[in-house]
A and B are shown apart, each in its own frame.
Chain A
Amino acid sequence: MLAEPANRGLFQYSDPTQFFLGYLKEKQRRKEARHFGKEIAQYLQTSGLFKDRSWASIKVEELTDVQCVGFLWAVYVSLYRHFRQSVAPCAMQCLESEIFFHRRPEALQAIANFFGIELSDAELGGILVNPVFDRHAKQLSRAFDLAEREAEYQRLSEALKDEVAEGLEWISDLLGESGHALPLPGSCL
């Protein structure tokens, strides 16, 4: 898909702490992480990608929720690095999600520039005041407020601090051997 010269790919990612909070906050999301983990583990085994790394043959059924979420994050960033380096070196960039939330005008302009889409200041200004951005993106009937989101994550940080600490250590153990440290290469901002 990224082999066509004009096509581009942007990987929007969370730092690992945010990622843990996002998935560990609800029982349903933990189940989703387990489901995605199984699918991606199967993909790794089928594709043979990263077969030189110990975590590529991991058995998701044997992982705790925290380990499963950490495994997901580790695979996602590793896949991004792989596709950027080996498949489409000039056609992929990344954007950290908190940058998008807090610097939305710059982020949108950077994305448009990367995609080669014309976006004037006037059009950008119009987009940013669109009422759709005051609504929850997945449920338009619900209001969205960035300050409320941050307050919720602050509360979650405290409630889940032990699990997050355990998860960060797990990621470090997983990826330590392959030296994958943040920040990811090729950030558009």
Chain B
Amino acid sequence: MPRAPDSQRADIPADLFESPEMLPMHIDLDERLIWFFRVTKASYHMSSFLDQQRTVRQDTNIYSLSIDGLLDRYETEAPGPLTTHFLFYDGYNGSTLLARSVQEISGCLVLKEPRILYWFFKQKMRAGKVSGETKKTI
């Protein structure tokens, strides 16, 4: 993910763990930063995919937080476990329509292909090449 110009960078709001508005988009391990887009509920509904190009964002800012800062805040601010369900699919079979259907059910927030999951997958793959310890799960 390209580095954002300083004029577009903004601070993370206080309600990071209480609201889904801050969508993690990329982790920069060299800078130890996590990058977020701000996304409203309506934007989640409209977005077909939650990647850099296709996420409908509330503004053009890229919000960032240090990984260490995030972990510190998580210790004291983390909410309890939330129930999460997963829709897996094999491609070009109406899965986006299915996701759009489920997001219409009250109380459901559907994250369509959040790019950050792919980032974690790629990291696991890289780690798998040098260590056998991560080899059993995606």
Contacts and interface: CB of A to CB of B under 8 A. Distances in A.
Contacts of B137: 47
A111 interface: yes
Given A47-B128, A117-B105, A119-B105, A137 B88 contact: no
A8 B94 contact: no
Interface in A128-160: 130, 132-133, 137-140, 144
Interface string B53-95: 0000000000000000000000000000101111111111111
Contacts of B85: 7-10, 115
Interface stretch (A14-22, A59-67, A165-173): A14-22
A130 B85 CA distance: 23
B106 interface: yes
A50 interface: no
Interface residues of B, number: 36
A50 to B, nearest CB: 13
A108 interface: yes
Contacts of B128: 46-47
A60 B83 CA distance: 37
A12 B101 contact: no
B29 to A, nearest CB: 19
B98 A73 contact: no
A112 B91 contact: no
A14 B89 CA distance: 9
B125 A42 contact: yes
Given A4-B84, A12-B93, A108-B101, 4 more contacts: A12-B89, A22-B92, A112-B105, A127-B105
15 contacts: A1-B86, A4-B81, A7-B86, A9-B85, A10-B85, A10-B88, A19-B91, A23-B91, A43-B138, A48-B136, A76-B90, A80-B88, A117-B105, A127-B101, A133-B101
